Each structure stands twice: as C-alpha cells, then as structure tokens.
Structure 1
Amino acid sequence: MKYSFRQLEVFLAAAHFQNITRAAESLSMSQSAASSALKELESQFDIRLFDRVGKRLQLNELGRLYRPKAEALLAQATELEQAFSKHSEIGALKVGATLTIGNYLAVGVMAQYMNTPTRPKVSLEVANTSTIARRVKDFELDIGLIEGELQATELEVMPWREDELIAFCAPNHPLAHKKQLTDDDLRQATWIMREQGSGTRQSFERGMQGLLPDLNVLLELEHTEAIKRAVEANLGIGCLSWVVLADAFKRGSLVPLAMPEHRSFKRQFYFILHKQKYRSAGIAQWIELCKQL
C-alpha cells in the first residue's frame, strides 16, 4: 500500500483547518512532519490535492473528490480499532442537533447510547438547522438531527418523527380564553419568535403564509426558554414545538392557543448524514434509539 493512515489524517486535517500548522497541532505532530506527510502523499501518486495561497491550503477539485473517500476509510479503520481494543462495535459519536431536539430529546438518547459496558462517548453540538447541515456536510459531525426542511445534494435526509408547533400565551393574556383564533387575531397579536434560519421559524412561516407581512414581531430570540419567559411576562404570544411546551402547559404557566383550522403547523424531524459517510454500527444504534423515543 503506497499511502498510510497517518498521511490520510494529515490530508483531512489540512482540509479542515486550511493551514498545515493548525493541522499538525490537531494531530500532535510537528509542522515539518505534517508537511512532509502531505507532500509524500501527493508525490507518491503525482497529484495535487490543494491550491497553495500563501500559508492557506484550499482544497482543489481533486481534493474535494477524494476527501469523502478518505473520511469513510478512516472511519472504518477507527471503528475496527475500537472493536479490537474494547471488544465492541459501538464507538464514540459526534452528534449535532437543532435547539428543540438538542435540549429536549437528544440528551435522553445520549444517556441510553452511553449506558453500555464500554461507555462510548457522545459529543453533542446544539445549533440551528443551517449550522448543523454545514457541519455534517464538512464531516465535522457524524449525524445531525434537525427540525427544518433542507435541500442539499451532498446530504441524505431521512424522516424521523412527526412534530407540531403550538401557539401559546400567558394565562392572563387577552387571547387566553378564546376558543379559536382568527387570522385577524394573529395579525393584531404581538409575537415573540425564534430567529431566522431556525427550523421552528421556517415551519411557523410556512403555516402563516399570506399573513407574514402583517405580523407584528416584537422579539426574535435564539433560545426557546427565553421565548417562554418573555411570553410568561406577557410581552406577546409565541409558537414553539409541543415538545418544548408540554411541562409549562402542565404547570399552567403557559396556555395553548387554538390556531385557525385552515392553518397547519405539523412538521417532521429528520436525520441528516453525508451521502458518502460510512454508516458505522454506532450511527445505526443511535438512529434506532431515536426511533424508539
């Protein structure tokens, strides 16, 4: 075999950091050793994987073509190494989740996944849909759990479970005791909303088609708990996932609002993976645990 796994690690680290010094630091190597490994890989096959722009390394067309293949090969090698050393096929995972899923669903799955004799580790990154999709696309996350619609040719998007957004208000809000809201009620209300780019905002805007230019949005917040606190303080009404609101409804600190019948706020949660990502036993186990929720 003309190449080594170490050379592939240097290649992938350089692709990630776009700088050989930072790539070397991430692999606990000297800069000269990392640079030599990359040069040897290229010279052995008489290829160039990067365009050199000063100290910056930019993947060229050939590098972009081979990056997913190198990622998949190293993932399989890592899984085999873990199986040899721990006698287990279930290894560490890097998971990304959007805010609703990350704060209210993913932690329970993590507990189950890690509750095995080998105690595999899980790192969880919580961000909005666009950020999670970008990091899965760049192989920085093994799998993503998102709540927004997504079109990305590099990614496989798989339905997970259904969800529904619920409008809500404080118990003493003027709309709290109304049996069903009208479009005029929605226009006249003051709204506390998730930020643009979030899956929740995307689903809300889809359900409010025709009314969006007329809505009075007072605040756009990145955190669901902040939105709930603002609505509890009677600054306006909100619209979030049922998953987020169930406990507050039980306590009576917030109350659900019945939206007009012709407006649907049902949506889907999804798994996303890179199409060229190696499907390890750990990823398969994670997906299965999620489906059991």
Structure 2
Amino acid sequence: MTLRHMKIFVSVCEFKSMTKAANHLYMTQPSISQAIKELEEFYGITLFERLNRTLYLTSAGDTLYQYAFHIVTLFEDAERCLKNSDSLGILKIGANITIGTTLIADYIHQFHELYPDITVNVTIQNSVTIEQMIYNNELDFALVEELHRNTYLKTKIFCSDRIVIAASPEHPLASKDTLSLSDILKEPLLVREKGSGVRDLFEQIVLSEGYSLNPQWESCSSEALINAASNKLGLAILSYRMISQNLHKKELIELHVENLNLHRNLMVVYHNNKLLSKAARSFIEICINSGLSHIIN
C-alpha cells in the first residue's frame, strides 16, 4: 500500500463521502472508489458501511484509520519541516488554564531570547480539549496537569501544584483547626467545569473516599469562583497557582483537610509519533529547568 492510498482513505473517513473526498483531493470518484477497493482487497477487510447515503467506518476501518491518520500527518510534518527548515517557523503549544494564566508567559519570554524569529502560537483550553488537540496533531506539545494514562501520549513532569480548598476568612469553617472531607462536602462547593484538571482530580479524590461531588457552582472562570468564595457563597476548589495572591492578601484562607493529599504534577505532553523540532525540544527544556524554581509544597 502507498501513501496515496492512505491519504485517500483518511479523506474519505473525514468527509464520510467518496464524492466529497474526490472534490477535496481533485480526483475523480471512480479513482477514489478504486483506491478504497484496493485497500479492502489488500487487507481482506471491509472498511465502510453505507447507511442513508453516508459512509460509516467498520471496526476494522476504524483501526486502520488510527494508523493511517498518523502516517499521513507524520508525512505532512516532515514535508513542512523540510520546506521551512530555512524559514522562521512556528511552534504550536497548548496549555491548560492554570498554566496558561500563571507560567507560560515566562517560558515564552525565555524561549524568545534563544529563538527570536520563531512565532509561538498558544492555545489555552481545559485539559480534555488540549488532549484531543494533541491527538489530532493540532499542537506540537502541551503543558497540562497529570492526565489519565494514554498509550499515544509521552509525558514529562516539569513542575508541581496543589489543589486548594479556599473560603472567606468569615466562613464558619475558617476557625476550625481540624476538618474532614465530610465537613467540606456539606458546604456549597464552587468548582471548575468538567474537563478541567482541577475538577477532575478533586472529583476522583472525593469518589475514592466514598463520597460524591455535588457542586453548587460550575464555571470555566477561576475569577468567578474566587469572587463567589470571597462573598461567602461557598468553598472554591482551585489550583494554588490561581489563588495564591488572594491567600497572601488574606482575602481568602486555605482550609486543610486531615489525611487528604491534594498535590499534583504538571506535565509536558506530546504525541508518541510526534517528531519534535530542535526549537520544541528547547522550549520543553526551558519548562523543566524553570519548573525546579516553581515547585509548590
């Protein structure tokens, strides 16, 4: 099988139509159909089912797509890298909201001292979205908190963080020296949206202790949760990095729960099949070296 077959197959998968794939690739539909037929005969499998004039991948087709997609994108990466080897270049980086708000600007500043002519494009989203963008080859690498182990991801720890349970200094729990998780869960909880690393990790911890998480507020805005906690509307569950200034100013206080480990690692992640450029490797090295001075206890 050739790269041409893989490109045609990936295009048909994405458009779910041989006619649309043919138009996209500037080919005739019979040529597309013939290439798919050759693939099916070569592997002895059926790749598509046709329902209501739409093509759907079979189980075997889906398996082939996982490989074909990365074969095609790797080729495109190599082609782009070679063609642009003497040009300025672009680095595409993803970051979760915590890292995007508190750390990445410093890393980019250090990077531009070494590579002033390389453009750094940054996408800041929650961790689930960033992980999907890595899988789709939309990013060179990303900086996020610990993710569920995925076979297609390579990870490197570069820093640490912890989740903070924060309350107004006037909250009834603020005066208590000893708190249990049960005490916390009885209060109105102000948490990030599903897909956020802080939310997902805290929910895992709650479930592992035999409880369930029933938040009163859910928001993609850490600032909204901080303001709500400051106004005694509940307890904010956030990254220490997002709330440290409010703690230092004593606008909020941190509630400590006995025997509850809320620490987490921050990681560089990229696709197993990704060929990192020299510039990308340098940026990752900056993150790791800088992370040593950003460790949180």
Match of 1:234 in 2: 232
Cα deviation digits, residues 158-197 of structure 1 (max 9, x gap): 3232211111111222222333323453243221112233
Contact 1:71 1:139 in 2 (8 A): yes
Cα deviation digits, residues 17-50 of structure 1 (max 9, x gap): 66789989xxxxxx4663469958x85x954798
Contact 1:93 1:122 in 2 (8 A): yes
Match of 2:261 in 1: 264
Query: If the length of structure 1 is used for normalisation, what is the TM-score?
Result: 0.77
Match of 1:204 in 2: 202
Match of 1:131 in 2: 129
Q: 1:214-293 maps to which residues of 2 (within 5 A)? A: 217-260=215-258, 262-293=259-290
Which among 71, 77, 81 is matched to residue 79 of structure 2? 77
- In structure 1, the residue corresponding to 2:71 is in which secondary structure? helix
Identity %: 24
Code of the residue aligned with 1:34 in structure 2: it is Y
Contact 1:176 1:257 in 2 (8 A): yes
CA RMSD, Structure 1 to Structure 2 (Å): 3.6
Match of 1:144 in 2: 142
Cα distance, 1:65–1:187 mapped onto 2, change above 3 Å: closer
Code of the residue aligned with 1:130 in structure 2: it is V
Q: 1:55-134 maps to which residues of 2 (within 5 A)? A: 61-86=63-88, 91-116=89-114, 118-134=116-132
Q: Displacement of 1:235 after TM fit?
A: 0.4
Cα distance, 1:113–1:102 mapped onto 2, change above 3 Å: same
Q: 1:135-214 maps to which residues of 2 (within 5 A)? A: 135-208=133-206, 209-210=208-209, 212-213=211-212
Contact 1:11 1:38 in 2 (8 A): no
How many angstroms apart in 2 are the aligned matches of 1:188 and 1:121? Answer: 48
Cα distance, 1:183–1:154 mapped onto 2, change above 3 Å: closer
Q: Displacement of 1:242 after TM fit?
A: 1.2
How many angstroms apart in 2 are the aligned matches of 1:268 and 1:52? Answer: 44
Cα deviation digits, residues 193-252 of structure 1 (max 9, x gap): 122332112221343333523x66211222212211111111001221111111112222
Q: Displacement of 1:285 after TM fit?
A: 1.7
Cα distance, 1:19–1:122 mapped onto 2, change above 3 Å: farther
Cα distance, 1:184–1:55 mapped onto 2, change above 3 Å: closer
Gaps of 5+ in 1: 25-30
Cα distance, 1:291–1:220 mapped onto 2, change above 3 Å: same
Match of 1:28 in 2: none
Cα distance, 1:117–1:140 mapped onto 2, change above 3 Å: closer
Cα distance, 1:286–1:177 mapped onto 2, change above 3 Å: same
Query: If the length of structure 2 is used for normalisation, what is the TM-score?
Result: 0.76
Code of the residue aligned with 1:291 in structure 2: it is I
Match of 2:26 in 1: 34
Gaps of 5+ in 2: 291-297
Segment drifting more, 51-60 vs 159-168: 51-60
Match of 1:27 in 2: none
Contact 2:127 2:144 in 1 (8 A): yes
- In structure 2, the residue corresponding to 1:77 is in which secondary structure? helix
- In structure 1, the residue corresponding to 2:87 is in which secondary structure? helix
Cα distance, 1:145–1:117 mapped onto 2, change above 3 Å: closer
- In structure 1, the residue corresponding to 2:257 is in which secondary structure? coil
Cα distance, 1:39–1:121 mapped onto 2, change above 3 Å: farther
Q: Displacement of 1:14 after TM fit?
A: 6.7
- In structure 2, the residue corresponding to 1:272 is in which secondary structure? strand
